[in-house]
Amino acid sequence: MKLTTLLLTQNNCYKSGKKHTVKGIMVHSTGANNPKLSRYVGPDDGILGTNPYNNHWNQPTPGGRSICVHAFIGKDKNGEVRTYQTLPWDMVGWHSGSGSLGSSKNANNNGYIGFEICEDGLTDRAYFDKVYQEAVELCAHLCKLYGLKPEKPVLIAHCEGHQLGIASNHGDVMHWFPKHGKNMDTFRAAVKALLATGSTTPSPTVPAPTPTATTGEEKIWKFFKDKGLNDFAIAGLMGNLYAESGLRSNNLQNTYEKSLGMTDEQYTKAVDAGTYANFVNDSAGYGLAQWTYWSRKEALLKFTKEAKASIGDLDTQLVYLWKELQGYANTIKVLKSATSVRQASDVVLLEYERPADQSEAVKVKRAQYGQGYYDKYASKPVAPQPTPGQLYYVQTGAYSVKANADAQYQKVKAKGFDAIIKQSGNLYRVQVGAYSVKANAEAQAAKLRTAGFETYITTTGGTQVTAGAAPAPVLKSIDVIAKEVIAGKWGNGEARKQKLTAAGYNYATVQQRVNQLLK
Ligand SMILES: [Zn+2]
């Protein structure tokens, strides 16, 4: 498996930041003929290729939908099949379809890692074989990681999730796999077989854009915060420092570790002890910002010596960096008024760090690193905490007669709510959504009440049952209706037509009778 990480940090799902304990995997396929990863994953990292419509899922609500998955399998810009991880595995995804059983409203997403296989025209056997194998390897990797058994209902397809009552009514992936002689049972067996071989570890193709925590990370954030920079500026600055040094203040440029025959620690010690005298002129990048040019290295050395600190000391380098930055008037000006991570990141990249490669891909990557820090450290309003395992169902009616539940269901649906019917004991409950945060359930209940429904919140769910059709309306005779029309009770023109049709009458028949009566 070729696994790359590009977290969809702009997606509302990612931003909601809800964690879950992984208990299963749900396999999806996209349902659209577009095998390119760039359709869903972005921005371009140099591997994905560009998306001319910029309609990938790294935005709050892709296509207006509250939707997000943990990974995609599809083609990169060169047509090679890869896996992109797009959410942390332990974060709740929004992937079980639309409606009350899907998206952000669905508590059933909890615990399931969901990934999408990008569909093509469904007939290309070579493409299918590659994505099937990639999906098998991804699932084996995740099973190993979370101790999951590749069995039902732990490892399931979306359509099986629907059968189990935990996902919306979608056919994926069983509208595709059988075309090539596969199904979910062969899939689970393949995952099991791969697990048995013990070789499930993927080899990442590029370093994960989200920086891993270092001990200095929080200290660096706080340092710049104390200097009065805003969160965008700090994140943009830190993303660049991460790209340069991994935020390690004793980091010696890797190529020089080889040519000088010294590790980071040995080089730092030798400079401190004065046994290595070529620090200023060796052109080796060093420290947080990977200072390279002789005059900047000379100033850094002088500064740390005066401070009686090690050349690799983080605190001293931070003070030096801040002092040095004051000489970059425009950079400081932009940082102080930054309104996005990207803006701050770009100015640091182009004016302060000035690496050889200043391409769009490098700008994107550094801003992504910065975004990782922003998401981690920027001050955010504290969200209400859900009670673990507790769900609040918004209910508008419970009936012992199924037909009555069906009638209520249709009324609620007609007002635009995503209703479902759940059976528990001898009651059919008409419910609109399940929420782990009670305040969210209360908000939904208020909406229903505004729409004229008696509503309350219960912690009793049940098993979902199929809703019946709306009961047939009791129709009046054509003569009675025609007289009502003449009396003006049904309005005129198009409005009349719509009203009559909605009430179950044949407009043409009624109108014919009206014309006869008026002759
Ligand atoms: Zn699906």
Task: Output the pLDDT for position 471.
Answer: 57
Q: Ligand 1 mean position to 223 CA, how many Å? A: 45
Six-digit token pair at 361?
């891909």
- Mean pLDDT for 356-377 is 91
Counting Cα atoms < 13 Å in the Cβ hemisphere of 476 gives 11
What Rg value do the Cα atoms of the chain yield, rounded? 30
CA of 154 to the centre of ligand 1 (A): 16
Lowest mean pLDDT among 39-43, 337-341, 497-501: 497-501
Q: Specify the residue for token string 């009624």.
A: 510
**Coil, helix or strand for 432?**
strand
**pLDDT band at 206; cut points 50, 70, 90:** very low
The three-class DSSP label of residue 24 is strand
The backbone region for 302, taken as left when phi is positive above 0, alpha when psi lies in -120 to 50, beta otherwise, is alpha
Say how many Å lie between the CA of residue 513 and the centre of ligand 1: 50
At 329, the pLDDT band (50, 70, 90 cuts) reads very high
Q: Which residue has the higher pLDDT, 383 or 66?
A: 66
Give the strand pairing for 420-424 and 463-465: antiparallel
- State the number of CA atoms in the 13 A half-sphere of 446 facing the CB: 6
Tell me the per-residue pLDDT of 396-413, one tens digit each, with 9 for 90 and over.
988 988 888 999 999 999
Ligand 1 center–CA 432 separation, angstroms? 21
Summary mean pLDDT of the chain: 88
Q: Give the pLDDT score at 103.
A: 45
Contact (CB, 8 A) for 419 and 412:
yes
Give me ligand 1 centre to Cα 199, in Å.
Answer: 28
**Please, what are the domains in the chain?**
2-204 (3.40.80.10), 215-377 (1.10.530.10), 392-465 (3.30.70.1070), 478-518 (no CATH)
Burial of 236 (0-12, 13-18, 19+ CB in 10 A): buried
The residues pairing with 114 across neighbouring beta strands, listed in sequence order, are 26
Least confident of 17-21, 60-64, 206-210: 206-210
* pTM over 0.75, yes/no: no
Compute, in angstroms, the gap from residue 91 CA to the centroid of ligand 1: 18
- Higher pLDDT, residue 198 or 120: 120
Is the model more confident about 201 or about 50? 50
Cα–ligand 1 centroid distance for 48 (angstroms):
22
157 CA distance to ligand 1 centroid (A)? 8
Q: 70 alpha carbon to ligand 1 midpoint, in Å?
A: 12
Would the pLDDT of 382 be above 60?
A: no
Neighbours of 501 (CB within 10 A): 12
Q: Cα of 85 to ligand 1 centre, how many Å?
A: 17
Quick one: pLDDT at residue 198? 76
Tell how far the Cα of 170 is from the centroid of ligand 1, in angstroms. 6
- Quote the ligand 1 centre to 46 CA distance (angstroms): 28
Q: Is the pLDDT of residue 110 over 70?
A: yes
Question: Which band of pLDDT confidence, cut at 50, 70 and 90, is reported for residue 434?
Answer: confident
Q: Please tell me the distance between residue 184's alpha carbon and the centre of ligand 1 in angstroms.
A: 14
CA of 99 to the centre of ligand 1 (A): 13
pLDDT tens across 452-467, in order?
A: 898 888 888 888 888 7
The values of phi and psi at residue 440, to 5°, are -70, -40
Asked if residue 151 has pLDDT above 90, the reply is yes
Is the CB of residue 427 less than 8 Å from the CB of residue 399? Answer: yes
DSSP tally for the chain: helices H, then strands E: 18, 12
Ramachandran bin of 499, using left for φ above 0, alpha for ψ from -120 to 50, beta for the remaining angles: alpha
pLDDT for the residue numbered 472:
61
Taking the centre of ligand 1 as the mean of its atom positions, its distance from the CA of residue 111, in whole angstroms, is 16
As a whole number, mean pLDDT of residues 27-51 equals 93
Cα(27) to ligand 1 centroid in Å equals: 7
* Residue 211 confidence (pLDDT) above 50: no
260-317 pLDDT, tens digit each: 999 999 999 999 999 999 999 999 999 999 999 999 999 999 999 999 999 999 999 9
Distance 163 CA to ligand 1 centre (A): 13
Compute, in angstroms, the gap from residue 172 CA to the centroid of ligand 1: 5
d(CA 323, CA 314): 14
pLDDT-derived band at 101 (thresholds 50, 70, 90) equals: very low
Q: Which residue has the tokens 């009638």?
A: 407
Interacting residues of 16 by C-beta distance below 8 A, sequence separation 6+ = 92, 104, 383
Give the confidence band of 213 by pLDDT, cuts at 50, 70, 90: very low
Q: Report the separation in Å between the CA atom of 75 and the middle of ligand 1, taken as the mean of its atom positions.
A: 19
Alpha-carbon 513 to chain mean position: 58
Contacts of 345 (CB under 8 A, 6+ apart): 235, 236, 237, 239, 240, 363, 366, 367, 370
Residue 224 alpha carbon to ligand 1 centre in Å = 44
Residue with tokens 């805003």: 230
Which two three-digit tokens encode residue 50?
């560009």
- 394 DSSP β-pair partners: 457
pLDDT band at 17 (very low <50, low <70, confident <90, very high): confident
Q: 349 CA to middle of ligand 1, Å? A: 40
